[in-house]
Structure 1
């Protein structure tokens, strides 16, 4: 079992900065604003020769349970319960604050081994803060600078003293966790050609949508635990948090993402960073579940997010959440299906599933739709049937004549999957109307059941091997 280390402390002491340094990449959002981190995040980490799982947590704050700060504190306490070792961090420049003493007592009551870490010691005048830290009763503080990497050897020794052999027990879990390691999803090449469809291979699924449509609640309902911070406030999630999960024996990696508002409304730097994280999660996901509030469907931003997923070439499924609040489910579902086909013609046949993250309704159907769409996204059409279909489609609706010369279709072949991509050899590709290309794409969907995923068609002309000779003779 992997050794787990949790970083805790009050807001803005540098927990996420240390987390990023130990995992080897800028995974967690970092900003001068207190309280940037809200959900707990787990990732393999490496400190010199030690390997362990590291948990980044929200800042400890004194607040009642129903408030957002109170729910963040509950998430942090859960992380402490899961951890084998706690790194309690203070800001040495500010010295020991009243909240530090309060939360040190909370950590002490948990009964977990603790390493006291005094951060931001890279400037003069922090010696007093380090000395004050002795008064917390958590042992000798380890002076570090998470931003500049100072004191890492001393921190390694402090962790090793508590971890023993456990931190080295499973080095394969942190393979590549050091400098240059891939972020979740970066080990996927979206343009790589995969082998035949493997029904057991894990799937990467991102959950996206505008703020307050229930994305985090949906992820919690799927995995069956309160893993993500939720509440009535819009924009709670800031980082793209990944969770490993299994559904019917098949591995899944779920990415909960920050809500995406209209671009004109995104003003603050922190929100821009959150949106960038969401875009990265979509880019490296295989399937994207676009969550739409069934009580306020098809806001302009809903359509823009669905179109973004389509343009990125991802397989997509629409989840109409909050279905328990819909008064006439049968009529509403029929209306939503009709609006989906009309407002998102570029994703024709996209699977639509009504769900309720609060009650758990429709979650199995949602996952069945995601897996089925993933299989379509990986579909390969043999060249023989493809060209027989092309001849029939051209016979039924011949290509138009442009400038008095009829365009000719020669052959078609599929060159990639994820999403399906085809090359059509024809005369004068530059003159082919887009309306005729759409006719061919719609025909491909119907003939080979390629619904709900993007289809790419590239037009090319075949080289005439005698063209050069003819020019030489004329010369």
Structure 2
């Protein structure tokens, strides 16, 4: 039975407005997930975030943006505004949000002019219109010149029917007329899904250059960058293609030591970054070449291993240390010594500013994914196991030798091997490490986290 496909996005909406009017709350409601960080503090959103949204039978692409603010050129706020203006250019329609409780502010009037100049359809939403106080302020919204305001509550979901009618009137009926000659049979016979997009999360300490690296990879200033540490707050996903292979990149907030994480907002950002690691297939741990393998870098690598993700180490800002010809060899030796649980992990020198090493980095990411997904036939595993047990038998416990009978691969992603025998719960850590390293060498599982599951069963005929 063929699974029903979600309807493709028919148009793109950008949610715009001054800070703290509820744009991210509306974005989360439309996409049906808590993707964007939400807090009472204004200015939480900095980068623009995109997602597939739906409202009744409408499917569309929606963009969450930073709050529009007047700012001096060169400041972080000015770069945030540039990101919002880029979203306005890329969208086919705009949802302009105001705070119904606060009424129309001078900032709303100023940015309404910017929205009108875009010459794109605009739907005016008066958010936070729950109760009588919010609705009494709707009359002031007409002076923005954006048409009739729709009373709305992104937090409680009120006003969705009116928003649906506005979207349908602006786009859907028009598109259906244009597409009336299209064949329904072609749509049904179309492929249900394209090739799998490799999910890659870029993680590291603050100011390691994660956003700059992604901008260079995709060839556009998609993410907010700058000299300030901690610019990125949300984990932003970006669909991209490398050598005709689909990729979904996740930019994440910088991860500091737990003791240094301060305030609710930074805790939310860290939780968002950790969630990106859990849902990624490959994690690129980005180091600063001028101060590599700090304690926090090792903590992040250990977290990636515990989550069972494939990993590649990118040493960024390589242009600053490229004159040190022995450094790369030293870093690879350091990786072997400091990260024995991920022995053989690829260490790739890169530069987000000068585009150095980007192709080798992506090649290593796809290779790590292949290793992470590798499956080994049971017959090969047991031939290797017989040789490994002959070379180094398990030790005896209380005068009775531990017996390992056979093993099989229970799953991949990451590789999990089930070992069957008796008294396996007494197997020393040193011996499990011997088996793990042997598997890694024999079956080319370099850089992948390996899991061993001991399955002990009593055999009545064993004596």
User: Deviation at 1:466?
Assistant: 5.0
Corresponding residue for residue 223 of structure 1: 218
Residue-by-residue CA offset, 1:66-92 (whole Å, 9 max, x unaligned) = 111111100100111011111111111
Q: Is the 8 A contact 1:50 1:167 kept in 2?
A: no
Residue-by-residue CA offset, 1:169-198 (whole Å, 9 max, x unaligned) = 99xxxxxxxxxxxxxxxxxxxxxxxxxxx9
Q: Is the 8 A contact 2:422 2:458 kept in 1?
A: no
Secondary structure of 1:235 counterpart: coil
Q: Go from structure 1 to structure 2 and tell me whether the alpha carbon gap of 1:367 and 1:104 turns closer, same or farther (over 3 Å shift).
A: same
Which of the numbers 138, 157, 164 marks the counterpart of 2:165? 157
Which of the numbers 147, 152, 156 marks the counterpart of 2:155? 147
Q: How many Å separate the matches in 2 of 1:222 and 1:140? A: 43
After superposition, residues 334-353 of structure 1 pair within 5 angstroms as 334-353=329-348
Task: Please give the TM-score of this superposition, normalised by the length of structure 1.
Answer: 0.89
**Bigger mean CA offset, 345-354 vs 140-149:** 140-149
- Structure 2: gaps spanning 5 or more residues: 1-8, 180-193
Q: How many Å separate the matches in 2 of 1:401 and 1:340? A: 34
Corresponding residue for residue 428 of structure 1: 423
Q: How many Å separate the matches in 1 of 2:131 and 2:453? A: 58
User: Deviation at 1:410?
Assistant: 1.2
After superposition, residues 44-193 of structure 1 pair within 5 angstroms as 44-165=52-173
User: Deviation at 1:128?
Assistant: 4.5
Q: How many Å separate the matches in 2 of 1:465 and 1:123? A: 73
Corresponding residue for residue 190 of structure 1: none
Secondary structure of 1:442 counterpart: helix
Corresponding residue for residue 229 of structure 2: 234
Q: Go from structure 1 to structure 2 and tell me whether the alpha carbon gap of 1:444 and 1:147 turns closer, same or farther (over 3 Å shift).
A: same
Corresponding residue for residue 473 of structure 1: none
After superposition, residues 278-297 of structure 1 pair within 5 angstroms as 278-297=273-292
User: Deviation at 1:465?
Assistant: 4.4
Does the alignment pair 1:212 with 2:220? no
Corresponding residue for residue 4 of structure 2: none
Q: How many Å separate the matches in 2 of 1:350 and 1:167? A: 50
Which of the numbers 376, 392, 398 marks the counterpart of 2:371? 376
The total of aligned residue pairs comes to: 440
**Higher relative contact order by CA 8 Å / sep ≥ 6: 1 or 2?**
1
User: Deviation at 1:166?
Assistant: 6.2
Corresponding residue for residue 179 of structure 1: none
Q: How many Å separate the matches in 1 of 2:127 and 2:379? A: 65
**Bigger mean CA offset, 356-365 vs 426-435:** 426-435
- Structure 1: gaps spanning 5 or more residues: 171-197, 471-475
Q: How many Å separate the matches in 2 of 1:255 and 1:242? A: 4
Residue-by-residue CA offset, 1:355-400 (whole Å, 9 max, x unaligned) = 0011110000000000011000111111112111111111111211
Which of the numbers 352, 355, 359 marks the counterpart of 2:354? 359
Q: How many Å separate the matches in 2 of 1:46 and 1:427? A: 55
Q: Is the 8 A contact 2:417 2:451 kept in 1?
A: yes
Secondary structure of 2:63 counterpart: strand
Residue-by-residue CA offset, 1:411-452 (whole Å, 9 max, x unaligned) = 111111101111112221121101011011111111111100
Q: Is the 8 A contact 1:119 1:146 kept in 2?
A: yes
Give structure 1 regions of 4+ aligned residues with deviation exceeding 4 angstroms: 166-170
Q: How many Å separate the matches in 1 of 2:226 and 2:356? A: 19
User: Deviation at 1:30?
Assistant: 0.7
User: Deviation at 1:167?
Assistant: 7.2
Does the alignment pair 1:12 with 2:26? no
User: Deviation at 1:165?
Assistant: 3.4
Aligned-CA RMSD value: 1.8
Q: How many Å separate the matches in 2 of 1:152 and 1:373? A: 45
Q: How many Å separate the matches in 1 of 2:74 and 2:174? A: 37
Secondary structure of 2:132 counterpart: coil
Which of the numbers 238, 246, 253 marks the counterpart of 2:248? 253
User: Deviation at 1:208?
Assistant: 0.8
